[in-house]
Amino acid sequence: MIVVMNVNVEEPKVEAVKDKLHQMGYKTHLIYGTARLVIGAIGQESSVAPTGIETMPGVEKVMRVMAPYKLVSREVKSDDSIIDVGGVEIGGNEIVVMAGPCAVESYEQISEIARGVQESGAQIMRGGAFKPRSSPYSFQGLEEEGLQYLAKVRSEVNLKFVTEVITPTDVELVSSYADIIQVGARNMQNYTLLRELGRSEKPVLLKRGYASTIEEWLMAAEYIMNEGNYQIILCERGIRTFENYTRNTLDISAVPIVKQLSHLPVIVDPSHSAGNWRLVSALSNAAIAAGADGILVEVHNLPDEALCDGAQSLTIENYQQMMEELKKVAVAVNRYLPLFSTKLE
Ligand code: PEP
Ligand code: MN
């Protein structure tokens, strides 16, 4: 249920509506749009229907939200959400590029890659310190040491960073370093982790599970939002299909679908979708053409020696070429890649 009020309504009127909803057993969320203030009233199926709210001062209308996810839906918030990551806006007109290695391997490695991608227009670097590997014998990440390298490089170059958390007990630690916390495909339905992140103040990058429907993905985002963290970026990273030429099948249609269903920004990870660096540029172009707000891409200084996902990692040079292509696609869809545009022209 949502209660729509004018965005300039006086505070006491909002408080009165909230109090009434709380008495009826609802939890409330205030969602500010450009023209209206929406109070999302979330309750168990058994909650009393909020009668009597419609006539309260300042209330324009009361509406049922038809979608199973509520707070993430366009029904609740019609304008796009823009997530501000220390001045980098995700979900606005700017295309945001997050680039870096699958895993942080050493200070030298992350430093060289970060400088390389920054020069070609990335705004955010990526690098895993806690790696959810399919095999227990594969490299599992440098853990806190990796976070320290990311933080050191951040202070040396003009980049924010995104890194994954794989367990609820590490949320505090990872939040104390990262600008954006990533939830990987394998953890998309780890509801304890999602709830914990919902109580964090950091933006969350929520990857789609490789066997999850769009609705399940949006419900996962709802878990985070329902705890009070509205800063969520959705990331399509390919789903498992019968096709085995690629590691996963990039579900490109998920981009415009999610854009219709939700106000949250959507980005695409072409690297885990493809599993092959040769496909990454084409998939990135497709993502931006389809309306994605950015990409998350794996780049390595020495892909042949990478401890993780070398086959899908671009060299710094290939990354630069990809960005040149991507810039043209961005312009064609009335978006832009700011740093790169100023550098090349
Ligand atoms: C990653 O981005 O490092 C990663 C592990 O991806 P995914 O969770 O999409 O497999
Ligand atoms: Mn990877």
pLDDT of residue 272: 98
Q: 127 with 210, same domain?
A: yes
Q: 112 with 9, same domain?
A: no
Q: Which domain holds residue 103?
A: 83-332
End-to-end Cα, the chain, rounded Å: 50
Q: 90 with 235, same domain?
A: yes
CB 197 within 8 Å of CB 204: yes
Domain annotation covers residue 340: no
Q: d(Cα 191, Cα 67) in Å, to the nearest integer?
A: 20
Amino acid 316 reads I
pLDDT of residue 48 exceeding 70, the answer is: no
Domain annotation covers residue 344: no
Domain annotation covers residue 120: yes
Length of the chain (residues):
345
Q: 43 with 103, same domain?
A: no
Average model confidence (pLDDT) across the chain: 95
pLDDT of residue 216 exceeding 70, the answer is: yes
Can you give the CATH number for the domain in which 52 is found?
3.30.70.1140
Mind listing the pLDDT tens digit for each residue in 162-211? 999 999 999 999 999 999 999 999 999 999 999 999 999 999 999 999 99
pLDDT of residue 45: 62
Domain annotation covers residue 87: yes
Amino acid 9 reads V
Domain annotation covers residue 249: yes
DSSP β-ladder status, 36-42 and 59-63: unpaired
Beta carbon of 238 within 6 Å of any ligand 1 atom: no
Q: Which atom of ligand 1 is nearest to the CA of 238?
A: 9
Mind listing the pLDDT tens digit for each residue in 136-164? 999 999 999 999 999 999 999 989 999 99
Beta carbon of 126 within 6 Å of any ligand 1 atom: no
pLDDT of residue 58: 94
Can you give the CATH number for the domain in which 316 is found?
3.20.20.70
Q: 270 with 309, same domain?
A: yes
Provide the β-strand partners of residue 39.
Answer: 3, 30
Q: Which atom of ligand 1 is nearest to the CA of 128?
A: 3
DSSP conformation class of 313: P
Q: 12 with 161, same domain?
A: no
Beta carbon of 209 within 6 Å of any ligand 1 atom: no
Q: d(Cα 295, Cα 283) in Å, to the nearest integer?
A: 10
| Domain finish residue from 63, 92, 112 | 63
Give residue 44's pLDDT band: very low, low, confident or very high (50, 70, 90). confident
| Domain finish residue from 34, 63, 92 | 63
Q: 33 with 164, same domain?
A: no
Q: Which of 140, 182, 273 to mutate to test the pocket of ligand 1 (most atoms within 8 A of CB)?
A: 182
Q: Is 143 left (phi over 0), alpha (psi -120 to 50) or beta?
A: left
pLDDT of residue 122: 96
Domain annotation covers residue 70: no
Q: Which residues contact 135 (CB under 8 A, 6 or more apart)?
A: none
Neighbours of ion ligand 2 (CB under 5 A): 102, 309
Beta carbon of 207 within 6 Å of any ligand 1 atom: yes
Centroid of ligand 2 to alpha carbon of 272 (angstroms): 6
Count up the domains in the chain and report the number.
2
Mind listing the pLDDT tens digit for each residue in 256-309? 999 999 999 999 999 999 999 999 999 999 999 999 999 999 999 999 999 999
Q: d(Cα 299, Cα 109) in Å, to the nearest integer?
A: 11
Q: d(Cα 117, Cα 213) in Å, to the nearest integer?
A: 32
Give residue 7's pLDDT band: very low, low, confident or very high (50, 70, 90). confident
Q: Which residues contact 173 (CB under 8 A, 6 or more apart)?
A: 144, 147
Centroid of ligand 2 to alpha carbon of 298 (angstroms): 7
Q: 153 with 47, same domain?
A: no
Domain annotation covers residue 345: no
pTM: 0.95
Domain annotation covers residue 77: no
DSSP β-ladder status, 232-236 and 204-207: parallel
Q: d(Cα 195, Cα 205) in Å, to the nearest integer?
A: 14
pLDDT of residue 345: 34
- 3-state SS, residue 130: coil
Beta carbon of 198 within 6 Å of any ligand 1 atom: no
- Ligand 1, atom 4: nearest CA belongs to which residue? 184
Tokens standing for residue 271? 């690297």
* Distances from the Cα of 184 to the Cα of 11, 196, 217, angstroms: 39, 15, 12
CB 323 within 8 Å of CB 329: no
Q: 88 with 58, same domain?
A: no
Q: Which of 98, 102, 124 to mutate to test the pocket of ligand 1 (most atoms within 8 A of CB)?
A: 102
Q: 38 with 106, same domain?
A: no
Centroid of ligand 2 to alpha carbon of 278 (angstroms): 15
Q: 55 with 105, same domain?
A: no
pLDDT of residue 343 exceeding 50, the answer is: no
Q: What is the mean pLDDT of residues 111-133?
A: 96
Q: d(Cα 301, Cα 108) in Å, to the nearest integer?
A: 10
Q: 323 with 185, same domain?
A: yes
* Distances from the Cα of 11 to the Cα of 28, 244, 302, angstroms: 15, 56, 57
Beta carbon of 237 within 6 Å of any ligand 1 atom: yes
CB 39 within 8 Å of CB 93: no
pLDDT of residue 47: 63
